Amino acid sequence: MAAQKKTRGLGKGLDALFGDVEVKVKRAEETPEAEGASEDASSGREGINYIDINHIKPNSNQPRKTFDEEKLNELADSIMSHGLIQPVVLRAAGRGYEIVAGERRWRAARRAGLKEIPCIVRELSDEENMLLAIIENMQREDLNPIEEAEGLNQMIETYGLTQSEVSKSVGKSRPYITNSLRLLKLPEKIRGFVSEGSISAGHARALVSVEDEERQEAIAEAVIRDGLSVRQIEKMAQEKKASGRKSPASRSKPADVRSLEEELKDVLGTRVNLSQRGKKGKIEIEFYSREELERLIDLLKTLA
């Protein structure tokens, strides 16, 4: 498979980007045309070019979607004091250049007011461009867990790599790749919690074992509110599975019952289960920690 052949050398990671570079300063004063960009790409293998920062655009396949504003400002301050020490890696793209590795440095350099920055220009295919962008970010631990999982999944879905090939390319174990990809099974709301750092990747992986999406979200909110541990989530998931095996399959509830459950959930801030037989029934209110139980008790007392 072509994808296999192209990625054999990618496990070298950043060595593949910088390994044969001589520090030889060149300056690109004019906006490069398509042909000029190709010429610079060839000469870029020989050394470092100083390129107009406005002739550079971000990588559309960049796996990293979020940038910490505070850290960007800190890097910009450092660049103003000491300059941009590590070059940005580019490839020719039309009338300019596209970033392969170093978008954070490029963003910070813009904030620092630099007009041109040191760059290494490489000839790369779309596949090599995307893969090296993922590898560079992962080696620097610049991606949040969801961005990392989406990048790894793109390597598999878009370019047909196996998990084993991905493992070798990014220098991570096969179980690490599998566990990372599991995060993409979570609802969008929980993936958002992980991306913003409200819950850890460990909590998120434990939530994958919780079968009901609504319950996953309720537990995730309890993690943020009450600080549940990963072990507590795993225990709750196991208990739910055990109780599910003992009880018969539940029949679908009438719309008015489901509507009432939603109203109670909004009032109490946790999942509520309403069951009814004839004129009798019961209301089950779920809680996921001692702290949440105490909160519910206090709330019910106020209602009384």
Q: Which are the catalytic amino acids?
A: 103
The residues that bridge with 28 in the sheet, in sequence order, are 51
DSSP-derived 3-state class of residue 210: coil
Both tokens assigned to 155: 């390597």
Both tokens assigned to 140: 């620097």
Torsion angle in degrees (nearest 10) through CA of 99, 102, 104, 110:
-70
Give the max Cα distance, the chain.
85
Please say whether the beta carbons of 177 and 152 come within 8 A. Answer: yes
Element containing residue 47 per DSSP (H, E): none
Cα within 13 Å of Cα(236), Cβ side = 24
Please say whether the beta carbons of 271 and 265 come within 8 A. Answer: yes
Separation of alpha carbons 40 and 46, rounded Å: 10
Ramachandran angles phi, psi of 261, nearest 5° = -60, -40
